[in-house]
Amino acid sequence: MSLAFPNASRSFDDVRNLIRFTGYDGMFEVKFFVDAAALSATRLSEQDYLRAFDAARSKIQQIALKLYNPKHGMTYTLRAADLR
């Protein structure tokens, strides 16, 4: 199987300052997090972070596809260096 993103939902975790989205490798859920600082150097509102994520979604998902390896776990955090 390969990683797919059939669900466009995402959420913001204000405590950890991350945007969460999921991918699926067959029936297995793969959790992805994007460090909010990777989307903006300044502190934004939750809605602004989600808009920034939506604007970069295609690029973020392409990077997630490259980083994903089922042998390395089912949770990944993308940082600013990953999004360059």
pLDDT tens for residues 16-65? 999 999 999 999 999 999 999 999 989 999 999 999 999 999 999 999 99
Q: Please, which pLDDT band fits residue 84 given cuts at 50, 70 and 90?
A: confident
Which one has a higher pLDDT value, 1 or 76?
76
Q: What is the pTM of this model?
A: 0.93
Domains of the chain: 3-83 (3.30.160.140)
DSSP assignment of the chain equals: --EE-----EEEETTTTEEEEEEEETTEEEEEEEEGGGT-SS---HHHHHHHHHHHHHHHHHHHHHH--GGG-SEEEE-GGGG-
pLDDT of residue 1: 62
Does 8 have pLDDT greater than 90? yes
Residue 56 confidence (pLDDT) = 97
